[in-house]
Amino acid sequence: MNELFIQIVLGISIASTPLIFAAIGELVVERSGVLNLGLEGMMIVGAITGFAVQFHYNNVVLAVLASIVAGMMLATVFAFLTQVLLTNHVATGLALTLFGLGVSAFWGRSYSKVTVDRIDAINIPGLSDLPVVGPLVFSYDPLFYLSIMAVFLVWYFLNKTKKGLILRAIGDNHDAAHAIGHKVVRYRFLAILFGGAMAGLGGVYLSLVQVPIWVEGMTAGRGWIALALVVFASWQPFKVIVGALIFGGISILQLHAQGYGVNVDAQYLSMLPYLMTIIVLVTLRVRSKSKSDRVMPHCLGKVFHSTQ
């Protein structure tokens, strides 16, 4: 029984990690007042880039760095279009997702039948061998711990640093922030790049940890779930972990249900994470006076005109 419980917890944690990476990056982007719907595209490009680099060079550090760069490159395109050319955030983000899915499908054709060495869990002498606690706390891969650290760092940045407070001020009122001399475009540009880097990490986690093979469209809507997760978390960093565990738990539990032969069609079980996403978004929308509405950046998705 303990072994089954440990395996379920480990599975939920692994399934939650790419969501944490993508959502915490998008949270910073949205706190700056930018809505980037290109999350899915950046994640899938990060996944294929990391997989390709790992296949050719067998170097996980290089593969992870390459995925970060790939995500940032797509984010740079989005930032240039929305912050310099002042294009619509929603339309540009959707185009970025379609572009990322297309590029990854074309690039990944030659990798569809190959495998690579995955990023293994670390072994901490003395701690990883502890009963129950060892495998549940001290036996994850390095990227899992990095995702948790990223949440703490983002919280500290947004709440305890001057630049973080400026970023939040820009998200709430970019015109007022610009009027007192803050570089709105610069802050938003950097926030978008950070979001791209985190999306790339989320993508490479899928292809090098969760499922160390390349499958076209392997993100399977996780970018959209991460977007919903930011709203679910009320734009608060620590709530991202809670939300990711819930969504990741649903994904893993439906797999275990299929494995134990639950008498429900597999298609219905597979749709549970996405159904949960819809329910969360509808619930938060109906609760118009909820806390999530009060903390939402007031300039979210609005184009900034520096000449105003």
Instruction: Evaluate if residue 251 carries a pLDDT over 80.
Output: no
What does the pLDDT look like over 188-239, one tens digit per residue?
999 999 999 999 999 999 999 988 889 899 998 899 999 989 988 889 999 9
Higher local confidence (pLDDT), 152 or 247 = 152
What does the pLDDT look like over 135-161, one tens digit per residue?
888 889 999 999 999 999 999 999 999
Q: For the whole model, what pTM was predicted?
A: 0.92
Candidate from 17-26, 126-135, 208-217 with smallest mean pLDDT: 126-135
- Give me the phi and psi of 213, to 5 degrees please: -140, 160
* 174 Cα distance to chain centroid: 25
- What's the pLDDT score for residue 289? 53
Domain boundaries, the chain: 2-295
Measured CA distances, 188 to 18, 146, 152, 162, 170 (Å): 23, 24, 21, 15, 8
- DSSP per residue, 265-299: -HHHHHTHHHHHHHHHHHHHHH-TTSHHHHHS-TT
* 255 Cα distance to chain centroid: 21
Instruction: Evaluate if residue 305 carries a pLDDT over 60.
Output: yes
Q: Which H, E and C letters describe 253-274, residue by residue?
A: HHHHHHHCCCCCCHHHHHCHHH
List the one residue out of 224, 232, 223 whose CA is nearest residue 202. 223
What's the CATH architecture for 2-295?
Orthogonal Bundle (1.10)
Confidence of residue 37 (pLDDT cuts 50, 70, 90): very high
What does the pLDDT look like over 69-108, one tens digit per residue?
999 999 999 999 999 999 999 999 999 999 999 999 999 9
